[in-house]
Amino acid sequence: MTFRRLPLRRPAAAAFAALLAFGAGAPAFAEAPPASVIARTSPAGNYLAARLAGAERDTAAAAAYYRALVRVFPRNGEILERAFLTLLADGSIDEAVPLAKRIVEIDPEHRLSRLVLGIAAIKAKKYTTARSNLRRAGQGAISEMSATLLVAWTQFGAGDAKGGVATIDALQGPEWYAAFKDFHAGLILDASGSRKDAGKRLEEALKIDSRTLRVVDAYARWAARNGDKKLAIATYEQFDKVLPNDPLVERSISEIEAGKTLPPLAGNPSQGAAEALYGLGAALGRQGGEDLALVYLQLARWLDPSHPLIEITLADLFENMKKYDEAIALFRSVPANSPLKASAEIQLGLALERSDRFGEARTALEAVVAKNPKDLQALSALGEVLRANEKYAEAAEVYTKAINLLQAPTASNWDLFFSRGTSYERTKQWAKSEADLKKALELRPDTPAVMNYLGYSWVDQGVNLDDGLDLIRKAVTLRPDDGYYIDSLGWAYYRLKRYDDAVRELERAVELKPDEAVINDHLGDAYWQVGRRLEARFKWNHARDMKPDAVELAKIERKIAVGLDEAEKTTPEQPAMAPTAQKQDGG
């Protein structure tokens, strides 16, 4: 079989995800297929397997199949491009670079290939070659920013730091450019020894973006090296108020207090280029541009494997993409001497749980707690894993250990009380649960999850009905499109025998969450009460088919068989928190 050679497309940053053609499904392959399997497969079979693996975001398998195809069709534009993109996403940059060279022979204006060739030249310290490629790589806001910053770092590498800063300053574009421009201009000036000018630019970057650790770190390091240790520590402490207990911040403060000199974040062009790619990749990942973020972060990691945050950020990105095996491998790869190791071990445990490996997750987190019994983050994570797997009594014990470590609970601790309260509720310790839920609401009064859970609990038990309804209404006001909260409101009306209001809200909840058994069951009950008996049974049948837990299933089947009135006569009512409220607990 032959493949028609297709013209190469020229991907701008915004179109990159479409080029990868990655979907959101689960991995089709546990790992890359063995070479023997690929060798026995026809080119057509390899192509289809590569497309399937790509659609399932299984980059390792897709890369393996595309490698085989490139050997058979070395000049086919489509095959080359797909292989190139897949290798980038897989982090196989050394293999992607030769493909980029072949692609630009076919299409000299292929921007992503030019970007990769420019980055490879930076790594090889061939700055003139890097600039010639990078100047053909930028079109669109993201591409222009990345290419410009990389060009500036090549100018620094060639001994022209002022020229690099001028290149950055000449770039015009969206408002968000400003922080990147000041930050990298400051880094280049700092690395070149222009201390005063570096401080001005880094300070400007900090004014624009005081919540980004790398910006804070760069300015604090500059201050410490230039004789103002108090300013450096104050800068870190101000960041700690917003995002407390960051291990890199804690290490930097301790090193400054010990008299150590903190080097600039980027001391050479490879580190500077990696910093640019990391910053853009991290921002893209937060804003939903996962595929391009993945490529930028992989390129950054290739340029600067020692960067302290790239692996963790990559792992977080893989988690968001539901690529748990890749995330787990990266969390495990964080060096033992890294200040981020403890955080990585906690995130490892959570990733294991999200990949349905509860036993491993529990073991991993218990090991972290054993090493540091006073680690609030580790205790909270262990409690979350236990609670997610319905080990509510054990979860409550873990949360109690965490709460006992608090000298004076603050707003940031609301979730510990909330999580313990929900665990107590599930083990039928309502007095303890109510106290914790009230405490969580006291610590952070406008938290929809707490309002919904406490309000629903009161209404479902037939107590504090007006207060419960008021809390649920407030939760719905704050989250007007949340089907779970609207279900709570509808059920509150039902408990108050306001059946028409209940139908209205529960119909809205079902529209938002059509596949939730509990919501359909609730709507069936409300339909029955307003005389819509046929529709009630339809909703109960629908809820039954969604496989609710055994207790709820028995109740639903009883209602289908004899109707709600008779079912309530023969089945003792057992008020309990609806699973929908539990799923939206915000813990």
Q: What is the pLDDT of residues 179-231, one digit of tens each?
A: 999 999 999 999 999 999 999 999 999 999 999 999 999 999 999 999 899 99
Position 180 scores a pLDDT of: 96
d(CA 487, CA 288): 29
To the nearest 10°, the Cα dihedral for 412, 417, 422, 427?
A: 160
3-state SS, residue 157: helix
pLDDT above 60 for 8: no
Tokens 């790594």 belong to residue: 123
d(CA 17, CA 497): 51
Q: Structural domains in the chain?
A: 1-159 (1.25.40.10), 357-445 (1.25.40.10), 453-583 (1.25.40.10)
Structure tokens given for 526: 């409300």
Q: Is the pTM of this model over 0.75?
A: yes
Position 76 scores a pLDDT of: 77
- 502-508 CB contacts, 8 Å cutoff, 24+ apart: 502/526, 502/529, 503/527, 503/530, 503/532, 508/483
d(CA 64, CA 48): 12
pLDDT above 80 for 575: no
Q: Where are the beta strands (DSSP E) in 225-368?
A: none
Instruction: Report phi then psi at 454, rounded to 5.
Output: -70, -45
Tokens 């407390």 belong to residue: 244
3-state SS, residue 245: coil
Higher pLDDT, 14 or 581: 581
Write out pLDDT tens, residues 525-556.
999 999 999 999 999 999 999 989 898 999 99
Calculate helix-pair angle for 310-320, 290-303, nearest 10 degrees: 160
- CA-based torsion, 171, 175, 180, 183: positive or negative: positive
Structure tokens given for 131: 């600039």
Position 5 scores a pLDDT of: 28
Position 53 scores a pLDDT of: 58
Structure tokens given for 579: 């699973």
- CA-based torsion, 473, 474, 480, 481: positive or negative: negative
pLDDT above 60 for 579: no
Residue 400's identity, in one-letter code, is: T
Identify the CA nearest to 217 among candidates 175, 270, 168, 266: 266
Half-sphere exposure of 127 (CA within 13 A, CB side): 16
Write out pLDDT tens, residues 412-456.
899 999 999 999 999 999 999 999 999 999 999 999 999 999 999
First to last CA, the chain: 54
CA R_g for the chain:
28
Position 519 scores a pLDDT of: 96
d(CA 169, CA 157): 18
Identify the CA nearest to 489 among candidates 466, 513, 473: 473
Write out pLDDT tens, residues 454-477.
999 998 888 998 899 999 999 999
Instruction: Report phi then psi at 518, rounded to 5.
Output: -65, -40
Position 460 scores a pLDDT of: 85
Write out pLDDT tens, residues 342-365.
999 999 999 999 999 999 999 999
Q: DSSP states of 508-568 as a string? A: HHHHH-TT-HHHHHHHHHHHHHTT-HHHHHHHHHHHHHT---HHHHHHHHHHHHH-HHHHH
Alpha helices in 375-498 (DSSP H): 376-388, 392-404, 414-426, 430-443, 448-461, 465-478, 483-495
Tokens 């670079």 belong to residue: 97
Q: Is the separation of the CB atoms in 136 and 111 below 8 Å? A: yes
